[in-house]
């Protein structure tokens, strides 16, 4: 299981997935990356921004994990756009 203490620091440039081969990458963009891990009784998903844990949760299925990550990322992306618009005003 991947723990927050094992998250790479900004000075380290290696992939979190390399540390744990049992992770499935669900999302990968400029600064965000999300993974899920099958714990047999649930799927644990984690979202990282610049290699720092920003959100985690659990779902009953892999598909539910994908939907949950997509939902959180939609919120993060909308929040980012709103912040940018406020900066321009």
Q: Which pTM was predicted?
A: 0.68
The pLDDT of residue 47: 97
Q: Three-class SS of residue 23?
A: strand
Q: Using pLDDT thresholds of 50, 70 and 90, give the confidence band for residue 77.
A: confident
pLDDT in tens, 33-74: 999 999 999 999 999 999 999 999 999 999 999 999 999 999
Strands across the sheet with 52-59, in order?
Answer: 23-28, 32-38, 43-49, 52-59
The pLDDT of residue 52: 95
42 secondary structure, DSSP code: -
């Amino acid at each position: 299981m991947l723990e927050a203490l094992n998250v790479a620091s900004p000075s380290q440039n290696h992939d979190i997935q390399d540390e744990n081969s049992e992770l499935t990458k669900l999302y990968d963009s400029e600064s965000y990356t999300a993974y899920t891990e099958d714990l047999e009784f649930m799927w644990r998903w984690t979202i990282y921004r610049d290699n720092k844990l920003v959100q985690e949760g659990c779902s009953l299925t892999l598909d539910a994990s994908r939907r949950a990550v997509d939902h959180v990322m939609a919120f993060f992306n909308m929040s980012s756009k709103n912040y940018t618009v406020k900066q321009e005003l």
